[in-house]
Amino acid sequence: MEALDIARWQFGITTVYHFFFVPVTIGLVFLVAMLQTAWHRTGNEKYLRLTRFYGKLFLINFALGIATGIVQEFQFGMNWSDYSRFVGDVFGAPLAIEGLLAFFLESTFLGLWIFGWDRLRPAVHLVCIWLAAIGTVLSAYFILAANSFMQNPVGYRLDEESGRAELTDFWAVMTNKVVLVTFPHTIFACFMVGGAVVAGVGLWQMLRGPRRDDEEEREAFRTAVRLGAVVLLVAGAGTMVSGDFQGKVMTEVQPMKMAAAEGLYEDEAPASFSLLTVGTLDGSEPLFEVKIPRLLSFLGTGTWDGEVRGVDSLQEEYEQRFGPGEYAPNIPVTYWTFRAMITAGGLAMVGGAWLLWATRRRRLPSLATWEGRWLLRTAVVLPFLPLVASSFGWIFTEMGRQPWVVFGLMETSAGVSPGVSAGEALTTLVGFTALYAALAVVEFRLLLTYIRKGLPDADPPELVDDPDAPLAFAY
């Protein structure tokens, strides 16, 4: 393997691994804020116990997310220095603001929330968790704005002397049509993950938790299950609607990606959406297909008889615009990741609806029954379904852009660091992968340990007037 291939594998592995933590963090922090708000308004201690229980899971995930996110920044200079040099003037602006504004907002108020239970007034303490939640969303927006420049470059000029893209319109970058549709789609997907985690963990506690016979604890987790399921379903609907808008923008700015998502080689009007396709080994000819007529036309153009461009005609057009080369991404990867994203997300919504139905009564079926056993299986699988859907969505987004690292401006092969050998790239690939595997074991063990303990005692905070008293860590 060449250094380019290894660098791409390394970036893919570390990025997908880091993204496991992102939707959990964004989704959970808002649900924790909602639970604390319920406690603040009602005084019901079950909401305080749920806030501390899920808050602890959120903090574990947040800590690992920071550690893995730092590596993302270093990779640009380590393996992708030519890319960084080319796009740094544009790409660096939103990332710098994300670090200086959004991340510091997020981390500062999260620190106040962690240590301020007995130092801040309840209303001020509640504001801290909401500001931390807003910080996570702002971070997501700035990062997505930077990524959207890679999908649809705007607000720049090319300096022929330096060979760099230079920022000319920061507002154009921040209001890129791609980020305007990608941001709500991503945030709704994060809420799906957060809702699934809350619902799945709560249901497991009701069925197998250490104090599942404690009526007070069962009722608290029933509340969590129903809250998580409602958030999952509402966010799922938002994800579908925003995904529809995203598909139309994608067809406009990256028609090759839409063609690859469908495995469509010839222009079609109207175009059908295939639920399942079995093709030749090179993916160029279908052997068996199950299709929904006209659906691809609607997804891509907003009309039921619109034309969707195929890979072959786009390849000819790109050769005329950019010169000889292969401009189609890996068709099997884009085709199946697109469908895996939709399938996993749809199954998560089905699971959420079932949990909402199953918990309509206060007593769940016994584990001795088939319904009880399947509920337990759902509780275990549910948190992973929207998380897997989000990961497949990002793989599709990034792989579907290939062979471009910045669409239409720089090919991926031109962005790799020229001074990094294949052996050096392989060493860091193995090292990072092994380290991340170890961190995954640590995170999973920590989460399981604290999940198995069940709800903490309510122990309502009491304000401490002595400024010299040690800070209390409420978890």
**pLDDT tens digits, one per residue of 25-44:** 899 999 999 999 999 999 88
pLDDT at site 32: 94
Of 134-148, 227-241, 277-291, 366-380, least confident by mean pLDDT is: 277-291
Q: Where are the alpha helices (DSSP H) in 362-421?
A: 370-381, 384-400, 412-415
Q: Half-sphere exposure of 98 toward its Cβ, with a 13 Å CA cutoff?
A: 21
For residues 349 and 199, give the distance between their C-alpha atoms in angstroms, rounded to a whole number: 12
Q: Which residue has the higher pLDDT, 189 or 258?
A: 189
Q: Reply yes or no: is the peptide bond before residue 270 cis, omega within 30 of 0.
A: yes
At position 153, the amino acid (one-letter code) is P
Confidence grade of residue 350 (pLDDT, cut at 50, 70, 90): very high
Q: Quick one: tokens of 196?
A: 């699934």
Answer whether residue 140 shows pLDDT above 60. Answer: yes
Q: Which two tokens stand for residue 115?
A: 């240590």
**What confidence category does residue 61 fall into, taking pLDDT thresholds of 50, 70 and 90?**
confident
The least confident of 202-206, 254-258, 269-273, 407-411 is 269-273
- Give residue 285's pLDDT: 61
When mean pLDDT is compared across 184-188, 218-222, 271-275, 276-280, the lowest value belongs to 276-280
382 pLDDT band (50/70/90 cuts)?
very high
The type of residue at 335 is Y
More confident residue, 465 or 191: 191
Mean per-residue pLDDT, 310-332: 87
Smallest CA-to-CA distance from 193 within 16, 88, 348 is with 348
**Strand pairing class (404-406; 410-411):** antiparallel
Q: Are 83 and 416 in contact (CB under 8 A)?
A: yes
361 closest CA partner among 377, 375, 346, 382: 375
Give the pLDDT band (50/70/90) at residue 199.
Answer: very high
User: Cα–Cα distance between 401 and 399 in angstroms, integer?
Assistant: 5
Question: Cβ(115)–Cβ(128) under 8 Å?
Answer: no
Q: Compute the average pLDDT of residues 245-268.
A: 85
**pLDDT above 90 as % of the chain:** 23
449: pLDDT confidence band, cut at 50, 70 and 90? confident
Q: Are 144 and 33 in contact, with CB atoms under 8 Å apart?
A: no
Q: What is the mean pLDDT of residues 210-235?
A: 85
Q: Which of 74-83, 174-183, 459-468 has the lowest mean pLDDT?
A: 459-468
pLDDT for the residue numbered 473: 54
Which amino acid is located at 13 in the chain?
Answer: I
93/274: higher pLDDT: 93
Mean model confidence pLDDT for the chain: 84
β pairing state of 164-167 and 156-159: antiparallel
Residue 91: pLDDT band with limits 50, 70, 90: confident
At 385 the pLDDT is 94
Separation of alpha carbons 437 and 401, rounded Å: 28
At residue 83 the predicted structure's pLDDT band, cuts being 50, 70 and 90, is confident
> Which two three-digit tokens encode residue 465?
């007037």
Residue 474: per-residue pLDDT: 54
Q: How far apart are CA 51 and CA 58, in angstroms?
A: 10
**Which of the pair, 307 or 191, is modelled with greater confidence?**
191
User: Can you give the C-alpha Rg of the chain in angstroms?
Assistant: 24
**Are the C-beta atoms of residues 217 and 46 closer than 8 Å to each other?**
no
Query: ∠214-217-223 over CA atoms, to 5°?
Result: 140
Q: What is the largest CA-CA distance in the chain?
A: 76
The alpha carbon of residue 178 and the mean position of all alpha carbons in its chain are separated, in whole angstroms, by 16
Name beta bridge partners: 404.
Answer: 411
CA atoms within 13 A on the CB side of 456: 17
Q: Is the pLDDT assigned to residue 16 strictly greater than 80?
A: yes
